Structure 1
């Protein structure tokens, strides 16, 4: 029994240590060939990377394959990270490049919006789950109808909580352009939501 307790305590300590390690420290260790650090970084960011890529390529199988490619690139190029942005921003930059390259390689780029595969939201309270699911579904459908440039901005700022500066760094455009795209994207999204019978502020 004492051995079991000791093992559990060691496991908990290992988890706490991994969570306390910054992304930058993990990259430093990855650059030195630390596979445990690579595993920790993957566990920390793979869902975010997957969702970001899926919103661009709109194909679950392709998105899953690209996630593997992104983290393989991280393993190979960790030494190239210069710390001028957050690691999460760097990861999304790599993800965006991979996703857009995959899109260009596909002949059928004009994907039917209705075929977009959605990621299930976390469950809400019983009292609000139905309304929230319906609203979230409508919101995602409206976001999917935006132009690629506007959809990308909305995804980065609202779904990935990136600042204007970070979004500009990921896409490779000036902050002024990010702000302009954000303005028109929000305006178009509000119009789409109104047409769908949803109050944009509530959404």
Structure 2
């Protein structure tokens, strides 16, 4: 069985080719930032936390054994970095600020507007959730992580994650009803 492209780059970095780490950063930076934003609640803080998490992951890459997916291992580092920064800074929660997604010119403008409006409401509703609930919703629905992977990332038990996801969905539904 041939190693995945991802594993090839991990092996290159482990052998001293630091430039190969760029592939991993490019592949995972968007979700790392999204997780950080859900926790930190401010764009600049999320960027700092995500960047710090990538640096920590690079420094600890030698300890990655491949027992879980690389993304799970990385998101665990990002998650814990954010929690650590929050604890040190004791920053209050602020509403999220996110840019508008790029769109395709072949889609009718009215459809684009409706999609952007829906995304705005969903982002706003997720932003109103407690940090951990927003992270769980993001990991499960947007990144399609399994409950087991989410347990590895957050350090919560699988049953606790299921309960929190159930409650977060209910709260998200209430927030969306309120916003709409």
In 2: Cα distance, 1:74 partner to 1:37 partner = 13
- What residue is the counterpart of 2:128 in the other structure? 145
- What residue is the counterpart of 2:32 in the other structure? 49
In 2: Cα distance, 1:135 partner to 1:148 partner = 21
- What residue is the counterpart of 2:157 in the other structure? 174
Unaligned residue ranges in structure 2 (runs of 5+): none
The alignment's C-alpha RMSD in Å is 1.8
Could you tell me whether the CA contact under 8 Å between 2:36 and 2:46 is conserved in 1?
Answer: yes
Structure 2 residue 92 is matched with structure 1 residue 110: yes
In 2: Cα distance, 1:61 partner to 1:23 partner = 28
In 1: Cα distance, 2:159 partner to 2:25 partner = 33
Question: Which of structures 1 and 2 has the larger relative contact order (alpha carbons within 8 angstroms, sep 6+)?
Answer: 2
Could you tell me whether the CA contact under 8 Å between 1:144 and 1:151 is conserved in 2?
Answer: yes
Report the Cα offset of residue 21 of structure 1.
Answer: 4.9
Hey, which bits of structure 1, 4+ residues long, moved more than 4 A? none
* Selected match of 2:119 from 110, 114, 136: 136
Could you tell me whether the CA contact under 8 Å between 2:42 and 2:94 is conserved in 1?
Answer: no
In 1: Cα distance, 2:120 partner to 2:16 partner = 42
Structure 2 residue 138 is matched with structure 1 residue 155: yes
> What is the TM-score of this pair, normalised by structure 2?
0.88
> What is the TM-score of this pair, normalised by structure 1?
0.79
1:10-45 deviation line (CA, Å, top 9, x unaligned): xxxxxxxxxx95322322221111123212111211
Could you tell me whether the CA contact under 8 Å between 2:40 and 2:93 is conserved in 1?
Answer: no
Q: Where in structure 2 are the equivalents of 1:1-203 lying within 5 Å?
A: 21-107=4-90, 109-113=91-95, 116-123=96-103, 125=107, 126-197=109-180
Could you tell me whether the CA contact under 8 Å between 1:50 and 1:67 is conserved in 2?
Answer: yes
Rg comparison, structure with higher value: 1
Could you tell me whether the CA contact under 8 Å between 2:43 and 2:98 is conserved in 1?
Answer: no
Could you tell me whether the CA contact under 8 Å between 1:28 and 1:79 is conserved in 2?
Answer: no
Could you tell me whether the CA contact under 8 Å between 1:31 and 1:75 is conserved in 2?
Answer: no
Could you tell me whether the CA contact under 8 Å between 2:25 and 2:54 is conserved in 1?
Answer: yes
Report the Cα offset of residue 61 of structure 1.
Answer: 2.0
Distance 1:174 1:60, change over 3 A: same
Could you tell me whether the CA contact under 8 Å between 2:38 and 2:131 is conserved in 1?
Answer: no
Could you tell me whether the CA contact under 8 Å between 2:53 and 2:81 is conserved in 1?
Answer: yes
